[in-house]
Structure 1
Amino acid sequence: MAGSEWQSLEQCLEAHVPSADLREVKRILYGKETRSLPSTDELRPLWRLLQCAESTSFVSKKHGLAKKNEMVVVSPILERDRGGVLWNTAVVISNSGAILGKTRKNHIPRVGDFNESTYYMEGNLGHPVFQTQYGRIAVNICYGRHHPLNWLMYSINGAEIIFNPSATIGELSESLWPIEARNAAIANHCFTCAINRVGEEHFPNEFTSGDGKKAHHDFGYFYGSSYVAAPDGSRTPGLSRNQDGLLVAELNLNLCQQMNDMWNFKMTGRYEMYARELAEAVKPNYHPTIMMESLTSASAYQHGEEQESLSLVDSYHST
């Protein structure tokens, strides 16, 4: 990373990280990360750089730093498993330096330039929650924030804090951004951390996405605006829309239980009813329950109204 867009991040690091550790921290922040590319052809040369999540050198560099600084690290990576399948993955590293596990992106977008179905597979690990010294955390990766049931399952599995690392652009989703993670925090009695990158990413080769738009070199502008939302509906101010930043928030996890005791959304959720209906709804021959009046009933009702109207008129004239 270089340029004025990163100055705010540099200042935050220099103010909060000991100088002896700063070089190592920068290496992790600026290291060999692989970002989503717009087509399989551009992605293919990177395959040889990828390893399984548990063994990738990029992840292993973070173990010692996590332990030394007593912090839990959520590390989004591009994972290739031993079968050669590509996954959008987040690895969670404990403050002890151990890998707690990984989670994979459950929902793969097929929207304009973000048609990730050409290279990623849908996640197959469900909704894991990671017990850390600082609370139970989960990672709802990027596009998964648009799916309320995705948030719900992390919450049902006990998550107190759900992180949502994202890379989304203003033209596509900015009107939704302040609402979705905040609503999820309220509905699921947990904290949510909505995280978005800033700036632009330029590709040497033009690409199209099958949406009728002209070939172009970039996705658009990533608008940042990261924030943390609480289960009572409150939230922090958002970070900058055009500069990197560091957001420090103190979370009182007791608030999760307090809001649960107040609203009881999980107790009143009627999940067994929805489970039955969803089990039917996913069948190919499902017929939705839609109540409609028949033509016979409508005709009879209209005829009855006319008779009633005539009776009222007769009654009026008789008086």
Structure 2
Amino acid sequence: MSEKVTLGLIQVKCGEDIEQNVAYTIEKIEEAAMKGAQIICLQELFNVQYCGQTVSVKGYDLAEPVDSPTLRKMGELAGRLGVVLIVPFYEKAGRGVYFNSAVVFDADGSYLGTTRKNHIPDGPQYHEKYYFIPGNTGYPVYKTRYGTIGIGICWDEWFPEVARILALQGAEILFYPSAIGSEPDHPELCTRRAWEKAISAHGISNGLFVAAVNRVGREKNMTFYGGSFVSNPLGEIMQSLDDEEGILIQEIDKKEIDFARNLLQFLRDRRPETYGLLLKQEALPTKTVFPAPVRL
């Protein structure tokens, strides 16, 4: 297996017409493959607009099973193009059971598995706890034709524990499909730089490549800022997109993983036996202790 791999990130707008979104994305996947992409990742909930802006039972109608016509079409596409394809979608796992998920198809079109989003946010215009159950697939890695990959979906990408677990299982590239943009309580604030720094830092602390793909454009009352990027094992941004639609094509050399890990031996010097506090829900003191009164 060659140590050099070409990644493709598809950053596009998402309209209200689901079939049109799928057709448009397929065009972009084909374009990325023509440009040499071997592993292609789509944005979070790739074929539907972001439902978390509001709370409505109608949002559940957007979900589909893992063997839906859309997903079968994507698997066939991966096999026809000879690419590994990461397809994030709104999963209906049963009656009234919904996950924010991503399916992985290998370069022969075979289904490798599903990652379900573990960390579910809740905040103004990000009402995801209404729509998604916390994931129950753990943190799987996938041995694909072009390398071993791990996936964290949007809010998962902010948690360093996710990246570390995926790295310990052999992931060489972390993919983070996202849907992040405006903050309604702070319209003057753009979190793009914080988002970029937090995710690329996982590459440093774990010595691997990171590929984050975000959606872009206006959807109802939210604007998504794009900014999809690939960073190397020392956290340097190799290439990024702006706030317009685009396809990012970036070749990486997995030999850089060896160099970074030999230079910064974080995995060697871990002390997991001292990390017990990480397994406690209440990490902060639960009781305030006041000093005894001073008698005069």
TM > 0.5 between the two?
yes
Q: Post-superposition, which runs of at least 4 consecutive aligned residues in structure 1 deviate over 4 A?
A: 9-18
Instruction: Name the counterpart of 1:75.
Output: 87
Measure the CA separation in 2 of the matches of 1:253 and 1:283. 39
Measure the CA separation in 2 of the matches of 1:278 and 1:16. 40
Which amino acid in 2 is paired with 1:228? V
Q: 1:14 to 1:79 in 2, by over 3 A?
A: closer
Measure the CA separation in 2 of the matches of 1:167 and 1:17. 23
Kindly indicate whether residue 284 of structure 2 is the aligned counterpart of residue 282 of structure 1: no
For structure 2, the residue ranges without an aligned partner over 5 or more in a row are: 1-12, 16-20, 35-41, 184-189
On the 8 A contact 1:40/1:119 being kept in 2, the answer is no
Q: 1:79 to 1:2 in 2, by over 3 A?
A: closer
Measure the CA separation in 1 of the matches of 2:77 and 2:60. 31
Which amino acid in 1 is paired with 2:113? G
Report the identity percentage: 29
On the 8 A contact 1:64/1:97 being kept in 2, the answer is yes
Kindly indicate whether residue 268 of structure 2 is the aligned counterpart of residue 257 of structure 1: no
Q: 1:270 to 1:112 in 2, by over 3 A?
A: same
Kindly indicate whether residue 62 of structure 2 is the aligned counterpart of residue 46 of structure 1: yes
More deviation, 127-136/252-261: 252-261
> How far did residue 16 of structure 1 move?
6.2
On the 8 A contact 1:165/1:194 being kept in 2, the answer is yes
User: Within 5 A, what are the aligned runs for 1:1-319?
Assistant: 33-37=47-51, 38-46=54-62, 50-51=64-65, 53=66, 55-171=67-183, 173-202=191-220, 218=221, 220-241=222-243, 243-274=244-275, 276-279=276-279, 281-282=280-281, 287=285
Give the structure with the larger helix fraction. Answer: 1
Task: Number of aligned residue pairs: give it.
Answer: 258
Give the structure with the larger strand fraction. Answer: 2
On the 8 A contact 2:30/2:81 being kept in 1, the answer is no
> How far did residue 39 of structure 1 move?
1.6
Q: 1:221 to 1:34 in 2, by over 3 A?
A: closer
Measure the CA separation in 2 of the matches of 1:77 and 1:2. 13
Structure (1 or 2) with the larger CA radius of gyration: 1
**For each residue in 1:265-317, what CA deviation from the matched residue of structure 2 results, as whole angstroms up to 9, or x when unmatched?**
0111212210x2334x3369x858x9x9x789xxxxxxxxxxxxxxxxxxxxx
For structure 1, the residue ranges without an aligned partner over 5 or more in a row are: 19-27, 203-217, 297-319
> How far did residue 32 of structure 1 move?
8.9
On the 8 A contact 2:33/2:83 being kept in 1, the answer is no
Measure the CA separation in 1 of the matches of 2:94 and 2:103. 16
